[in-house]
Structure 1
Amino acid sequence: MDNSNGHGWRRWAVAVGAVLIACLARAVLWPDLFREATFMPLFGAVLLSAWYGGLGPGLLAVALGAAFMAWTIFPPLENFAVSDPRSQLGMALYLAFGTGICLACHSLHASRRRQRVVQAALHEVKLREAMTVAETAQLAAEAQRKDRFLATLAHELRNPLAPVRYAVEIARRNPAYASDALATIDRQVDHLSRLVEDLMDVSRIARDRLELRTGIVRAEDVLAVSLETARPVIEGARHRLDIVEPDRRWALEGDLVRVAQAITNLLNNAAKFTPPDGTIRVEVTADDATLSFTVTDNGVGIDANDIERLMQPFEQGVPPPHMASSGLGIGLALSRQIAQLHGGSLVLERGPDGTGTRATLRLPRASDVAPAVDPALPARSSEAISVLVADDNADAATTLRLMLELEGHTVHVASDGEEACQLAEAVRPAAAFIDLGMPRRDGLQVCGWIRGRPWSRRTRLIALTGWGQASDFERTRRAGFDAHLVKPVDSDTIMRALRGEDRSAAN
C-alpha cells in the first residue's frame, strides 16, 4: 500500500500511533518479551509508517522511537542525552536500520509507481494503436465510399448527357426529327435537374438548412402529386398500379412538395426493383394520430440485415437481374430524413406474403378538412414588356431570350455586368433576369446599381443563378432582387417569376 501522495494527515497520524503502540508494548505490556530485542517493536512501527505513509512519516517514526529509547531505555533515564558508549552504539544502529527501512520502502514504492506509469503508458499505446487501426479502416472505408459515389455520380451524369448530345446531332442533321429530339432533351434535362436537387436536399438536411413550407395539406393532394411524378417510371416498366384512395377529409401539417417527394422516391424504388409487369400498391390509411402512406411491391424484396444500411445516403442494394445498376442511393435516405423533419418515420420491411417490399411513411395527422374544390387557374398575362437578360453564358442568355420572345416580350441581352448597367440605363426595362457570377460587375453589384436609379422602382429584378443555398437567397434579398430562381428553371417558373407570382420557385 502506498499512500505517500494522498490521505494527508492520516499518514502522519499512523506514524505517531504506530510508535505509541510500539512504546506501550515495549515499556508496559510486554517489557520482558522485548528486553533482549529492544528495537523490534520500534522497527515494526517504522516499517508500518514508511510502508503506509511514505518516507516522511517513516522518518518521523524513527525520530519518535529514538526519543522514546533515549528517555526510557538508555541511561541516564528520563534524559534525552545518551552518554554511555554502548547506548550510543545501539542508538546509531537503530537510526541506521530505521532509516534504511524507510529508504527501502520509499524505493519500493517509487519502483511500483514507475511500473504503474509504464503499464499505463503501454495501455495508452495499445489503445492508440487500436484507435489508429480503427480510424485507418474507417478512413479507408470512407475513401472507398467516396470513390464509389464519385464513379456512380459520373455515371449518372453521363447517362442523360449522351442522349442530349445525340438529340442535338439528330436535330442538326435532319430538322424533321427536331420535335422528337427536343422531347428527348427535355426529359433528360428534367432527369438531371432532379438528380442535382436530390443531392442539394441531402446537403441541406445534413447541415440543417432544409426549409419546410408547412401548412395544412390534404392527403389526396400529396398522393396525386406523388403519382403524377412517378407514373411515367411505373408505366415505363409496365407495372400494374393499385391505388387505395384516402378519405378526402384527411390532412396533415407539412410541406406538400417534400412529402410528395418522399413518397415519389418510394414509388420509384418499387418500380425499379420490381421485374417488368409487376404490381405496385399504394395505400393511405389513418388512425387518430397518424397518416400512413404505404407502398407495396412484389419485386425482389429486401434483406432485413440491409435495411439500416440502405437508409444511409449513397448506399444501394444489389441491382436485380432485370436492371443495370442506376441511381445514387439517395432516395430512401432522403425520404426518411423528410419524414423525420415532419415528426414522422419511414419503415421498410418484407411484403406481407414474404416477397417484395413494403415501405410505410408515417406522418402526424392534422384535423380533418372539408373536401377540396378544384380552383380555377389564374389568367395568364399577355402584356408584352421590355426585359433585360444579363448572363455571361451565351447559350443560357440566347435560349432565355428566345423563350421570352416567344411570349411576345422585347428582350435585350448583356454578356457582363458593365454592359448590363449600360443597357439598363438605355432601355429602362420592366424586368431583368440577372446572373450572379458575371465578369466586370457581378449580379449583386448590377442589382445595387439599378436599384440606385429612380426609374427602377417599377422594375422587377430576378436573380437567375446556379447558387441555391439559403445564404444565397438571403444575399439576393438584401441586394434588392424581387425573386431568386435556381438554374435550371422551366418556362412556367420563368413566367410566374416575371409576373411576380413566385419569389423563390426553385428554393
Structure 2
Amino acid sequence: MMHRLLSARIENDQALVRIRDRTRQVGDAFGLDNLQRTRLITAVSEVARNVVQHAGSGLIEFSFREEDEHAPQAIVATISDGGPGFDVAALPANGQRADGKVMLGISGSRRLVDHFDIVSAPGKGTRVTLEMHRSHAQPVISRNELAPLMEQLARRKTQTPVEELEQQNREMLLTLDELRLRQADLEKADERKDEFLAMLAHELRNPLSAIGTALELLKRKQNASEADVHRLADLVARQTAQLTRLVNDLLDVSRVSRGKIDLALAPVLLTDIIDHALETTHGAISARHHQLDYVAPAEEVWISADNIRFRQILSNLLHNAARYTPERGRITIRVRRDKANVAIDIEDNGIGIEADMLPRVFDLFMQADTGLARQDTGLGIGLTLVQRLLHLHGGNVTVHSAGLGKGSRFTVRVPELQREMSAPVITPAEPTASAAVAEPAAATAQGVRILLIDDNVDAVHTLRQLLEDVGHVVAEAHSGERGLAVAQLFAPNVVVIDIGLPGIDGFQVAQQIRAKQATAASLLVALSGYTSDTMRQRGRDAGFDQYLNKPVDIDALEAMIRALDVGGTDAPAMQPSVA
C-alpha cells in the first residue's frame, strides 16, 4: 500500500535546490543510510534537471510503500512532466554509453536506485518512478508511526542555496568515507571467498581420500575377514555421510540466499525435534567423549516449524559445539520460555570466540582460524544457514562468548504456539529419517515387492541387497524401457526410479507406469541428484508420490515402505531377470 508524503513543483534551477533538500529530508525521516540517501538525491536531481531542460516544468511526488511479499518498505519518487516525450526503447538498458562510461540524466539514474521505471512516448510527456528500498536491518515502520513522520516532514524548512551547497559537501565527504569502508569490506569478502575455495577443496579431498584408500585396501586384501569388511564399510559410510553433509549445506545456503526454500510449516512438539537432532549428532558427540546435559522443558512446548529444516538448525549448532570443544568437554541444551518465544540454549566449554569475531560469526564463509593445521573446521556456511533458516521461521539466533578458551552459547528463539495441541499435524512431505526407529521394518513390510530402475549397476545391487536383507522381494532394471517391461510382469508395490536414465527418462517411465492398470496404484519414488524445485514439480506432474535425493536415505525409504498397506498380498513366485 502506498502513502503519499509530499509533492513539489519543478519549474527552474532554483526549484532543483528545494527538491534535493526535500529528498534528503525524506531519506532522513525514513532511515536511509548515507550512501542510499546520496544515491536517491543524485537520481532525483538528474531526472528533475531533465524536466527543466526539456519540458520546462513538472511535478515530483514522494510516497512511502509498505512491505509486501514481493518487496521491502521503500521510498518512491515519481517525477512527471507534460513535455515532448521520447522513445524509451532508445535508452541504453545498462545506463552506459557506447564507450563504457556511465551516463548521467535518466539513463544514469537507473543505476543509482533499487527500482526504476519510465513511461514516455513522443508528444505525450514522461513519467519516471524511482524506488529506494529500506534496509532489512532497519526496524519496520508501522502505520501508527507514519503520521508523526509525515507531520515532521511538513514542519521542516527548506534550505537556502548556500546551505544546500554546504550540505552537499558534507554528504560527499561522508559518502566517500562510506565507500572506502565498503571497498575494504569487499576486499575482505574476496579474501574469505578465496580461503573458502581452498578449504572446500581440502574438506572434499579428505573424505574422498579416505574412501579411495579404504576401497584400495579392500581390493588388495586377498582374504579379508568379516571384521575387516565391516570396519572398512563403516569408514566409507562415515566419509560418505560427511561428503553428503558438505554438499547439502552448500546447496541449502544457495537456495536460502536466492529465496528458493519453501518451508512445510506445521505444529510440532519441540522435544521431538531436539530428540531427533540429538540422534543425528550422537556420533559426533560420542566420538569426542563429550558429556551432554539436556534440560528438557517441564511441560509440552509447541512451535510452528518445518520438521526437517528445524532439526537441521539444531544439528548444525550441536555439530559446531562438538567440533569446537576439546575431547571430554561438556555440551548443555536448555529449553526455556522467553516472553512469547521459546529459547533453546546450546552451550559448550570449548575454544570460545574472540570479541571481534562475535559480530561476524554468521557471515557467509567466516571462520575464526584459517591456519593449515586446523582439523575438521567445516566451510564457514553452517551458521549462515542456521541464521537464514531461522529467519524463515520468524525466529533468530544470537551468540555469546566470554572469549577464547571460555566456551560459547548459541541461543535460538522462535515464536511459541499458544493454543492447546493434542497431537502434531504432520504434512505428507518427505518422511523423516528418525521415523525408521519406530519398529523393525520386517515386522510390517515383509513381502513388499520393490522394483529398482537405475543405470548405476553398483548402486542398484547394494540397495537391492539392503532391501532383501529386511525381507522385501526386489527386482531391478537398468534402463527405462526394461523397467517398464519388468513392471508389467512383476506388478510391484513400490517402484524406485532414477531420473537420469538412458533412453526414456525417469519422468516418462513414471507416467507410463502410472497409466498401466497393473501398476497404477504403485508407490512411485523418484531417486535423483537433481534437487531443484523445478525438478520436484516435474516429478509431481509425472505422478511420483515422493522425491528422494541421492545418495538414498535408506531410513526414509523404509519409512515409506512401512507406511504401505499391502493387505497381505503374496509376492509372486517368479522374479524377472536382471536387465
Q: TM-score range by the shorter chain?
A: 0.5 to 0.7
Displacement after TM superposition at 1:415 (Å): 2.1
Q: Where do residues 480-495 of structure 1 align in structure 2 (5 Å cutoff)? A: 480-495=543-558
Q: Is contact 2:488-2:519 (8 Å) kept? A: no
Name 1:150's counterpart in structure 2. Answer: 197
Q: Is 1:241 paired with 2:292?
A: yes
Change (3 A) 1:414 1:303: same
CA deviation vs aligned residue, 1:334-366 (integer Å, no higher than 9, x gap)? 111122111111111224999322211111112
SS of corresponding position for 1:305: coil
Change (3 A) 1:178 1:426: same
Structure with the higher fraction of residues in helix conformation: 1
Q: Where do residues 399-410 of structure 1 align in structure 2 (5 Å cutoff)? A: 399-410=462-473
Displacement after TM superposition at 1:385 (Å): 4.2
Q: Is contact 1:319-1:325 (8 Å) kept? A: no
Q: Is contact 1:297-1:356 (8 Å) kept? A: yes
Q: Is contact 1:248-1:372 (8 Å) kept? A: no
Letter of the structure 2 residue corresponding to residue 238 of structure 1 = H
Structure 2, gaps ≥5 residues long: 1-10, 16-175, 425-434, 566-579
Name 2:531's counterpart in structure 1. Answer: 468
Distance 1:471 1:421 in 2: 25
Q: Is contact 1:310-1:332 (8 Å) kept? A: yes
Q: Where do residues 157-168 of structure 1 align in structure 2 (5 Å cutoff)? A: 157-168=204-215
CA deviation vs aligned residue, 1:315-336 (integer Å, no higher than 9, x gap)? 2111699952521112211111
Distance 2:421 2:186 in 1: 54
Name 2:225's counterpart in structure 1. Answer: 175
Displacement after TM superposition at 1:394 (Å): 1.8
Q: Is 1:412 paired with 2:475?
A: yes
Letter of the structure 2 residue corresponding to residue 411 of structure 1 = V
Alignment length (residue pairs): 382
Name 2:94's counterpart in structure 1. Answer: none
Q: Which has the larger radius of gyration?
A: 1
Q: Where do residues 106-505 of structure 1 align in structure 2 (5 Å cutoff)? A: 144-172=191-219, 173=221, 174-176=224-226, 177-318=228-369, 323-324=374-375, 326-351=377-402, 355-367=406-418, 377=439, 380-499=443-562
SS of corresponding position for 1:473: helix
Displacement after TM superposition at 1:156 (Å): 1.6
Distance 2:370 2:298 in 1: 36
Change (3 A) 1:7 1:354: closer
Q: Where do residues 7-156 of structure 1 align in structure 2 (5 Å cutoff)? A: 144-156=191-203
CA deviation vs aligned residue, 1:51-70 (integer Å, no higher than 9, x gap)? xxxxxxxxxxxxxxxxxxxx
Moved more, 140-149 or 448-457: 140-149
Name 1:120's counterpart in structure 2. Answer: none
Change (3 A) 1:427 1:262: closer
Name 2:125's counterpart in structure 1. Answer: none
The structure with higher relative contact order (CA 8 Å, sep 6+) is 2
Change (3 A) 1:236 1:456: closer
Please give the TM-score of this superposition, normalised by the length of structure 1.
0.66
Displacement after TM superposition at 1:248 (Å): 2.8
Please give the TM-score of this superposition, normalised by the length of structure 2.
0.58
Change (3 A) 1:187 1:347: same
CA deviation vs aligned residue, 1:205-247 (integer Å, no higher than 9, x gap)? 1122223222222232233223222333223223333332222
Distance 1:191 1:147 in 2: 22
Change (3 A) 1:452 1:215: closer
Structure with the higher fraction of residues in strand conformation: 2
CA deviation vs aligned residue, 1:427-484 (integer Å, no higher than 9, x gap)? 4433321111112111111122223323222333221111122222111110111221
Displacement after TM superposition at 1:168 (Å): 2.6
Structure 1, gaps ≥5 residues long: 9-128, 503-507
Change (3 A) 1:436 1:134: farther
Change (3 A) 1:238 1:354: closer
Change (3 A) 1:324 1:474: same
Distance 2:463 2:438 in 1: 28
Please list every run of at least 4 consecutive aligned residues from structure 1 whose deviation after the TM superposition is greater than 6 angstroms: 4-8, 129-140, 319-322, 370-376
Change (3 A) 1:366 1:419: same
Distance 2:438 2:499 in 1: 36
SS of corresponding position for 1:337: helix
Q: Is contact 1:220-1:248 (8 Å) kept? A: no
Name 1:107's counterpart in structure 2. Answer: none
Distance 2:334 2:273 in 1: 12
Distance 2:279 2:382 in 1: 17
Q: Is contact 2:445-2:472 (8 Å) kept? A: no
Distance 1:297 1:290 in 2: 23
Distance 2:479 2:240 in 1: 26
Distance 1:265 1:130 in 2: 38
CA deviation vs aligned residue, 1:47-97 (integer Å, no higher than 9, x gap)? xxxxxxxxxxxxxxxxxxxxxxxxxxxxxxxxxxxxxxxxxxxxxxxxxxx
CA deviation vs aligned residue, 1:126-179 (integer Å, no higher than 9, x gap)? xxx999999987776665444432322222222222222233334441133111
Letter of the structure 1 residue corresponding to residue 254 of structure 2 = S
Change (3 A) 1:501 1:355: farther
